[in-house]
Amino acid sequence: MYRTHNCGELRKSDIGKQVTLSGWVQKIRDKGFMIWVDMRDRYGISQLIFDEQRTSKDLLNQAKSLGREFVIQIHGEVIERASKNQNIPTGDIEILVKELTILNSSTTPPFTIEDNTDGGEELRMKYRYLDIRREPIKKNLILRHEITQQVRKYLSDNSFIEVETPCLIKSTPEGARDFIVPSRINEGDFYALPQSPQTFKQLLMVAGLDKYFQIVKCFRDEDLRADRQPEFTQIDCEMAFVEQDDVLNTFEGLITDIFKKIKKIDINKFPKITYEQAIEIYGTDKPDIRFGMEFVELNDVCQHKDFNMFNSAELVVGIVVNGGNTFTRKEIDKYIDWIKTPQVGAMGMVYLRCNDDGGFKSSVDKFYDQADLKNIAEKTKANKGDLIMILSGDKNKVRSQLGALRLELAKNLGLRNSEEFAPLWVVDFPLLNWDEEENKFHAMHHPFTSPKPDQIDLLKTSPSSVKANAYDLVINGNEIGGGSIRIHNKSVQEQMFKCLGFTKKESEEQFGFLMNAFKYGSPPHGGIAFGLDRLVAILGGSETIRDFIAFPKNNAGRDVMIDSPSKISKEQLKELKLKQDL
């Protein structure tokens, strides 16, 4: 028997017991006459002790031959520690070793396997199996496990059934490129990996399953962006006979339950704002509402003087930094430099200090007198001691720039507390957005999303004004889930494809199977999918999803551990009838 106990469970009450443990050598402290070894497994760390007085010479020598990450088995007696360690649950005891077996040796690991490691991210990914031995990563994977178990339990308790849908499918446009798999036995034909099980879950509603869910891998061949994974996991859900509010209520229940069970946090507010409001107030459709700093539009109080930058702008908009008058000139200049960086792209920033004596000092004092500045301050509801930051320019650009500045300020001011959670629904997205380059409409969510019920007719006359029956769940500035009520009517679906520039033949070829199904009594239905990786990361207090995925890809989409993607052999290429240098 390899072990009677694990390395995390022995306590004071076990003193006197003879135990057998197996695990890895985490740390060795060799004082010559006395050796301590920290022995680790998934459950914790137990301290082993070997000493000249109580341990045979051979055993002591054997202990001296140990190295980091050796796999060992020991047999010994649980004794009370002379100096206790309050930081670990096994800190009251140690094990006086009587027998030691080296089960396997280890070469020196390329980085230290400790909470704060010296290994860079690329190295840690290359040796992911060693990285997972570290407590923080292991803890994240356990958290992920707990969340998925809770999701399964909640949904299944609420009559959802888990159904697996295929991975080898044909292209479903969800806004990204497909990963393609050549078919050997159907020469010249290709499968696509699902960007999501969207059409299948809708077909399951036609099939009458009523409530479906799946914790499912999705694949999107997108251009590289920080913290995106080409394969990621969704909690994918669909329900029949529902309207938007039914879906929102059901999944508020799920999210509330996860926070309660996993984090012991009660979340009871899910404010709802429209897409338009989100853009106007926060400059983004995924606002972080843990803090205020809402946008105030200032055209009417700024465009009456000789200041051309404001006068020529489509939008003049500001935010108030509470207590920001303490910022030094240097600090303000740093923000100005920051917003001018290419990634933000603003032209400049105007600031207005609200002094404690009731006066104002601004970077545009040349153009605006105290009365003007007071007007601006009043409009923004700024108080003495505050700082107002103002951007101007093209509406869309300036909103996203100020949105970025708002987040940067909040980060620096410590307002983005990772243990505080502020969810909200963003609703009423536009159905379509116009792609200038391609000169055509794209579905903002996906082509199966229904227009608002009273706007279906507008699809024919004014498609760009149509609002979608779609919704996103946002938590702390991250889009955690998105979904919609679907089109369940063949002719509306045909009209939608037409708006998206599909010919009848193209839509028939690609989605005939779905529209055909709609002919056989398709119920009204809708659903949502949550990004599991991001949800887990947020619950884990981080925004780096890679740390919550067992074997993630790096930012270049590569698995540096198994070295993939990689070339395939000439034989494989031949078999698949693929040419290498096309």
CB of 516 to ligand ASP, least distance (A): 20
Among 196, 244, 325, 522, binds ligand ASP (CB under 6 A): 196
Q: Where are the alpha helices (DSSP H) in 30-134?
A: 57-64, 121-126, 128-131
How many chain residues interact with ligand ASP (CB under 6 A)? 10
Which of 55, 89, 50, 90 lies closest to 66, judged by CA? 50
Place of tokens 């055509």: 440
Nearer to ligand ASP, 66 or 529 (CB): 529
Among 483, 522, 545, 560, binds ligand ASP (CB under 6 A): 483
Among 69, 174, 285, 428, binds ligand ASP (CB under 6 A): 174
**DSSP secondary structure, 460-471, as one string:** HH-GGGPBBSEE
CB of 471 to ligand ASP, least distance (A): 9
- Under the binding rule (CB under 6 A), the answer on residue 528 touching ligand ASP is yes
CB of 529 to ligand ASP, least distance (A): 4
**DSSP secondary structure, 204-265, as one string:** HHHTT--EEEEEEEEE-BPPP-TT--SEEEEEEEEEES--HHHHHHHHHHHHHHHIIIII--
- Under the binding rule (CB under 6 A), the answer on residue 482 touching ligand ASP is yes
Nearer to ligand ASP, 325 or 484 (CB): 484
Q: Interior CA angle at 463 toward 462 and 468, to 5°?
A: 125
Segment interacting with ligand ASP (CB under 6 A) among 304-312, 317-325, 476-484, 557-565: 476-484
Place of tokens 């105007």: 350
Nearer to ligand ASP, 393 or 483 (CB): 483
- Under the binding rule (CB under 6 A), the answer on residue 23 touching ligand ASP is no
CB of 483 to ligand ASP, least distance (A): 4
Nearer to ligand ASP, 23 or 173 (CB): 173
Nearer to ligand ASP, 70 or 200 (CB): 200
The Cα–Cα gap between 402 and 339 comes to 9
Which of 403, 439, 449 lies closest to 199, judged by CA? 449
Segment interacting with ligand ASP (CB under 6 A) among 150-158, 385-393, 456-464, 521-529: 521-529
CB of 484 to ligand ASP, least distance (A): 5
- Under the binding rule (CB under 6 A), the answer on residue 173 touching ligand ASP is no
CB of 244 to ligand ASP, least distance (A): 12
- Under the binding rule (CB under 6 A), the answer on residue 95 touching ligand ASP is no
How many residues would you count in the chain? 582
Nearer to ligand ASP, 393 or 527 (CB): 527
49: phi then psi, degrees, rounded to nearest 5? -130, 135
What count of Cα atoms within 13 Å lies in the side-chain half-sphere of residue 423? 25
- Under the binding rule (CB under 6 A), the answer on residue 469 touching ligand ASP is no
Among 100, 151, 529, 560, binds ligand ASP (CB under 6 A): 529
Nearer to ligand ASP, 477 or 483 (CB): 483
Helix axes 504-517, 490-499, angle to 10 degrees: 150
Segment interacting with ligand ASP (CB under 6 A) among 141-149, 179-187, 478-486, 510-518: 478-486
Nearer to ligand ASP, 382 or 444 (CB): 444
Nearer to ligand ASP, 126 or 446 (CB): 446
CB of 138 to ligand ASP, least distance (A): 29
The 10 Å CB-count burial string (b at 16+, else e) for 392-431 is bbeeebbbbbbbbbbbebbeeeebbeeeebbbbbbbbbbb
Which of 176, 170, 224 lies closest to 197, judged by CA? 170
Helix axes 329-340, 395-412, angle to 10 degrees: 130
Answer yes or no: are the C-beta atoms of 292 and 323 closer than 8 Å.
Answer: no
Answer yes or no: are the C-beta atoms of 298 and 379 closer than 8 Å.
Answer: yes
- Under the binding rule (CB under 6 A), the answer on residue 527 touching ligand ASP is yes
- Under the binding rule (CB under 6 A), the answer on residue 198 touching ligand ASP is yes
Place of tokens 């270049």: 556
For residue 436, give the DSSP letter: T
575: phi then psi, degrees, rounded to nearest 5? -55, -35
CB of 341 to ligand ASP, least distance (A): 31
The Cα–Cα gap between 59 and 100 comes to 7
3-state SS assignment for residue 449: strand
For the chain, give percent helix, strand, coil, nearest 5.
30, 25, 40
Nearer to ligand ASP, 75 or 152 (CB): 152
- Under the binding rule (CB under 6 A), the answer on residue 484 touching ligand ASP is yes
Nearer to ligand ASP, 339 or 528 (CB): 528
- Under the binding rule (CB under 6 A), the answer on residue 178 touching ligand ASP is no
C-alpha gyration radius of the chain: 30
* Contact set for ligand ASP, span 292-311 (CB under 6 A): none
Nearer to ligand ASP, 380 or 484 (CB): 484
- Under the binding rule (CB under 6 A), the answer on residue 450 touching ligand ASP is no
Nearer to ligand ASP, 451 or 483 (CB): 483
Binding residues vs ligand ASP (CB under 6 A)? 174, 196, 198, 446, 482-484, 527-529
